[in-house]
Each structure stands twice: as structure tokens, then as C-alpha cells.
């Protein structure tokens, strides 16, 4: 199972939110590159980089942070947050993203998102499925749709998606454990997809449970920043 640390960016700084609430923001480092280099130095190979300013502005904002990390580390970066146009995606890839993640655009602009899958391939475009009570949430989690998680994923599987990052908003930033049962359901139903868990990971036991149910990867944020999980311990996965 891939361990994928998350760096969330607001005003060019490394932050974490609680349940996606911009009013519950904590700055962990003013220099995201330092954080990325620490991950790389510990043997981490992948990074989940989120442009929270972009998610709110609904267009890419912090591409310079992406460019800096991509050019000064060898991390495989998936980038998301505010990607709403062909130009946004072009900028993200030109700035060094290996993959991009689309959530809101996959709901509100399905034709655009499907075109990205066709243009770049299912290995480059990741489906972001952010859920609240099993319904898909959009616009930086500030709005919940009526779209069922499983129907959403099934539809995009037919369109060529290979990888899904699923975040249970109720768990995100709470350090109370991941939604393991939900991920097991996804894995059981979509055996051909790579399911990446996101939200709630609080300790190594959470990672063990996610690995046991078959998650392709697990995104870890606050648990690393708060010292609940040490970087030197995650390489066993």
C-alpha cells in the first residue's frame, strides 16, 4: 500500500483543515518545499498536493508551489484543487504534476472531465470522490450533492478512470480513524480500480487496517504533522 503524505496549500503555506473547514486552519510550515524534502528524505515516493486557495477560487492558484516541489524533489505528485478548465490542467502538468485529481469538475463539468480522461488517460486523471453521508460533496466540501458515491464511481469506471481518491469528510482532520468499512465496500465492488483512502488516519493501526482491506494507497496528513505517525515507520507498507 502506498503511503501518500498530503500537503495542503493556503497562501503558499502548508496547512491542515478540520473537516474541510477553512475557519479551522492550522499552519504547519510556511515553506512547503521543506516539508516535501523531509518526506522525500524519509523514503516517501508520492505526494498529494492540494491547492485549497484554488478550490475556493475555482481555478488553479498555487501552481508555483507545485513547480517548486516538482523541480526540487523526485516525488510523484498528484495535484488537485480548483482545476476547472483545460487551461488549469495544462498549467498543472506543465508545472510538474504527474497526475491531477478532479472532484467538483467531475460532478459539475462531467463532459470536461471526461475529455481529460480521453486526452491524458486514466493513469493521469484521478477521480476525487469526497463524500458526506455517502453523497458526493463539491466546491471545497462546502456543498453536498444528491449524487451517490457508488453510482458516481461506477459511471466514471465506464469512462476509463483507474484510480479513485475517496475522502470521508466527517473523518478528515479528526484523527479518529479512517472509514475502513466504506473503503472495503468500494474495493469489493470495484475490484479493478485503485482505491486510495483519505481522511481520519490517526496511527499505524489505521494504516494496517486499510492495507488489510486492500487499499491501493492511504493519504496521511494531520497524523504526520502532529507526530502521531513517524515518517520512519511508514515505509513498512
Grid coordinates of 20: 474541510
Q: Is 98 left (phi over 0), alpha (psi -120 to 50) or beta?
A: alpha
For the domain that residue 79 is a member of, what is the CATH number? Answer: 3.20.20.70
In this prediction, residue 170 carries a pLDDT of 79
Q: One of 8, 51, 168, 206 is an active-site residue; which one?
A: 8
- Please indicate, yes or no, if residue 166 is contained in any of the structural domains: yes
- Please indicate, yes or no, if residue 233 is contained in any of the structural domains: no
Task: With CA atoms as reference, report the closest residue to 127 among 92, 151, 152.
Answer: 152
Check if 181 is active-site: no
In this prediction, residue 142 carries a pLDDT of 63
In this prediction, residue 236 carries a pLDDT of 55
Computed over its alpha carbons, how large is the radius of gyration of the chain? 16
In this prediction, residue 8 carries a pLDDT of 94
For residue 185, what are the domain limits? 2-228
Give the DSSP H or E segment for 147. Answer: strand 143-148
Which residues in the chain come in under a pLDDT of 50?
none
In this prediction, residue 235 carries a pLDDT of 64
In this prediction, residue 47 carries a pLDDT of 97
- Please indicate, yes or no, if residue 236 is contained in any of the structural domains: no
Q: Tell me: the pLDDT tens digits for 167-178?
A: 988 776 667 789
Check if 130 is active-site: yes
In this prediction, residue 137 carries a pLDDT of 87
In this prediction, residue 174 carries a pLDDT of 65
- Please indicate, yes or no, if residue 36 is contained in any of the structural domains: yes
The string over 194-204, giving b where at least 16 C-beta atoms fall within 10 Å of a residue's C-beta and e elsewhere, is: bbbbbbbbbeb
- Please indicate, yes or no, if residue 18 is contained in any of the structural domains: yes
Q: One of 51, 53, 88, 130 is an active-site residue; which one?
A: 130
How many structural domains compose the chain?
1
Amino acid at each position: 500500500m502506498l503511503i501518500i503524505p498530503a500537503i495542503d496549500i493556503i497562501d503558499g503555506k502548508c496547512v491542515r483543515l478540520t473537516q474541510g473547514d477553512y475557519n479551522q486552519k492550522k499552519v504547519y510550515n510556511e515553506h512547503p518545499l521543506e516539508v516535501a524534502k523531509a518526506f522525500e528524505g524519509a523514503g516517501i515516493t508520492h505526494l498529494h498536493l492540494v491547492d485549497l486557495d484554488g478550490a475556493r477560487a475555482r481555478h488553479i492558484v498555487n501552481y508555483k508551489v507545485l513547480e517548486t516541489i516538482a523541480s526540487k524533489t523526485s516525488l510523484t505528485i498528484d495535484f488537485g484543487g480548483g482545476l476547472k478548465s483545460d487551461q488549469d490542467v495544462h498549467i498543472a502538468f506543465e508545472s510538474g504534476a504527474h497526475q491531477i485529481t478532479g472532484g467538483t469538475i467531475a460532478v459539475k463539468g462531467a463532459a470536461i472531465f471526461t475529455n481529460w480522461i480521453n486526452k491524458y488517460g486514466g493513469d493521469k486523471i484521478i477521480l476525487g470522490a469526497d463524500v458526506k453521508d455517502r453523497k458526493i460533496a463539491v466546491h471545497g466540501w462546502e456543498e453536498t450533492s444528491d449524487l451517490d458515491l457508488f453510482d458516481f464511481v461506477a459511471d466514471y469506471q465506464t469512462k476509463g478512470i483507474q484510480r479513485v481518491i475517496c475522502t470521508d469528510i466527517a473523518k478528515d482532520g479528526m484523527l479518529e480513524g479512517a472509514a475502513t468499512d466504506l473503503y472495503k465496500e468500494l474495493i469489493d465492488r470495484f475490484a479493478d480500480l485503485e482505491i486510495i483512502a483519505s481522511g481520519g488516519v490517526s496511527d499505524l493501526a489505521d494504516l494496517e487496517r486499510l492495507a488489510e482491506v486492500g487499499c491501493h494507497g492511504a493519504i496521511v496528513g494531520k497524523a504526520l504533522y502532529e507526530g502521531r505517525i513517524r515518517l520512519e515507520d511508514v515505509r513498512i507498507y
